[in-house]
C-alpha cells in the first residue's frame, strides 16, 4: 500500500468496509473519525471526537486536531492532518507515548467532571425557531 499525502473529508453515518486511503471519514452520530494510516501500513485509525480528545475542523479542507500518535500500530506513526495535508512528526518512544496517553486520560476525566452526566433536554431546532419567531414577530 502507498503512503498518503492528502485527505479529503467524507461525512458518513458509519465507516465503510474497507476504508479508502486518503479519506477522513467523519461520523457525527458516533462522534468518531476514521482513516487509513498515511504511512502506507494499511491499518485503520479511529479517533473519538470530543473536547477532551480529538476535533475535526472543516472549512472546505479537513483538519484533525491534535496530532495522531498511532502508538498501538506497528508503524508507530505520528502526524497531524492539517487542511488536508499530512504533517509528519517524529515517532514517539514508549516513555513519551505513555506520558501522552496518561495526559489524554486526565483530560478525558476532567471533561467528565466538568460536564453534567445527563444533558438537559433541548427542544427540537424547529420548535426553538418557531418560539423565537413568535417572540420576535409578536404572533402567538
Look at strands 55-58 and 44-48 and give their pairing.
unpaired
For 29-38, which contacts have Cβ atoms below 8 Å and span 24 or more sequence positions?
Answer: 33/64, 35/7, 35/81, 36/1, 36/4, 37/70, 37/73, 37/75, 37/77, 38/3, 38/4, 38/5, 38/7, 38/77, 38/79, 38/81, 38/86
Q: How many CB atoms lie within 10 A of CB 92?
A: 19
The model's pLDDT over 42-77, given as tens digits with 9 standing for 90+, comes to 999 999 999 888 999 999 999 999 999 888 888 889
DSSP assignment letter at 56: E
Q: How many CB atoms lie within 10 A of CB 67?
A: 18
Confidence of residue 139 (pLDDT cuts 50, 70, 90): low
Write out the three cell numbers for 21.
486511503
Confidence of residue 128 (pLDDT cuts 50, 70, 90): low
- Asked whether residue 19 carries a pLDDT value surpassing 90, the answer given is yes
The model's pLDDT over 73-83, given as tens digits with 9 standing for 90+, comes to 888 899 999 99
The model's pLDDT over 87-99, given as tens digits with 9 standing for 90+, comes to 998 777 778 777 7
Q: Report d(CA 64, CA 7) in Å as an integer.
A: 10
Output the furthest CA–CA distance in the chain (Å, rounded).
Answer: 64
Amino acid at each position: 500500500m502507498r503512503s498518503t499525502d492528502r485527505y479529503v473529508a467524507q461525512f458518513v453515518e458509519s465507516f465503510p468496509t474497507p476504508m479508502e486511503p486518503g479519506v477522513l471519514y467523519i461520523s457525527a452520530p458516533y462522534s468518531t473519525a476514521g482513516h487509513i494510516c498515511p504511512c502506507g501500513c494499511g491499518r485503520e485509525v479511529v479517533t473519538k471526537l470530543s473536547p477532551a480528545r480529538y476535533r475535526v475542523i472543516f472549512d472546505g479542507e479537513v483538519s484533525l486536531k491534535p496530532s495522531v500518535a498511532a502508538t498501538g500500530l506497528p508503524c508507530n506513526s505520528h502526524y497531524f492532518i492539517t487542511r488536508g495535508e499530512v504533517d509528519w512528526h517524529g515517532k514517539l518512544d514508549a516513555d513519551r507515548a505513555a506520558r501522552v496517553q496518561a495526559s489524554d486520560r486526565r483530560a478525558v476525566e476532567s471533561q467528565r467532571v466538568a460536564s453534567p452526566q445527563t444533558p438537559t433536554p433541548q427542544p427540537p431546532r424547529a420548535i426553538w425557531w418557531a418560539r423565537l419567531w413568535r417572540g420576535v414577530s409578536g404572533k402567538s
